[in-house]
């Protein structure tokens, strides 16, 4: 039984972030890879959509300039033949402020011939923004419950 493409990708991704060594990762990206991390791009310019290997390597380089991964736990994972989704909890450090950030992340990935062809990432972005700002954003309570 061969190893699922997710594991190889995950190792290369974390090495690209923490050791700033994107070499392994480059070989695991489809030329036409379709990449999206949904979130406020005004604050986090490395969020949003990217298309193609060069653009994805560049955005990963930018993420690596901003955070270091301390640990991650996969809380849920479902593997398909050429697909994988996980719900993960990341412990990060923001490199500019040295602040710890704890982040819940869901990703859906598609692989083609062992290479990442598509990934979509959803985060609890409000929680992230508050952690990075270092303060709560005042919110109204929207509902009037009986």
Binding site for a second copy (CB under 8 A): 38-40, 42-46, 62, 65-66, 75-76, 78-80, 83-85, 87, 94, 96, 104-106, 108, 110, 120, 122-129, 132-133, 137, 139-145
Least distance between a second copy and beta carbon 79 (Å): 8
Q: Are 103 and 90 in contact (CB under 8 A)?
A: yes
Closest of 65, 60, 72 to residue 105, by C-alpha: 72
Q: Between 26 and 106, name the residue whose CB sits nearer to a second copy.
A: 106
Q: Are 69 and 90 in contact (CB under 8 A)?
A: yes
Least distance between a second copy and beta carbon 6 (Å): 11
Q: Between 71 and 141, name the residue whose CB sits nearer to a second copy.
A: 141
Q: Between 6 and 28, name the residue whose CB sits nearer to a second copy.
A: 6
CA 83 to chain centre: 16
Closest of 79, 70, 67 to residue 108, by C-alpha: 79
What tokens does 115 get? 């290479």
Q: Between 27 and 65, name the residue whose CB sits nearer to a second copy.
A: 65
Least distance between a second copy and beta carbon 72 (Å): 14
Least distance between a second copy and beta carbon 71 (Å): 19
Rounded to 10°, the helix 53-66/5-18 angle is 50
């Amino acid at each position: 039984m061969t190893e699922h493409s997710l594991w190889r990708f995950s190792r290369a991704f974390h090495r690209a972030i923490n050791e700033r060594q994107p070499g392994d990762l480059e070989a695991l990206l489809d030329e036409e890879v379709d990449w999206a991390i949904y979130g406020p791009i005004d604050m986090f310019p490395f969020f949003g959509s990217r298309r193609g290997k060069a653009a994805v390597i560049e955005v990963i380089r930018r993420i690596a300039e901003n955070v270091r991964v301390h640990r991650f736990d996969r809380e849920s994972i479902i593997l398909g033949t050429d697909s994988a989704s996980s719900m993960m909890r990341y412990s990060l450090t923001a490199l500019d402020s040295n602040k710890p950030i704890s982040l819940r992340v869901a990703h859906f990935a598609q692989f083609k011939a062992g290479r990442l062809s598509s990934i979509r990432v959803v985060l609890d972005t409000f929680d992230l923004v508050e952690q990075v700002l270092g303060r709560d954003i005042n919110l109204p309570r929207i509902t009037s419950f009986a």
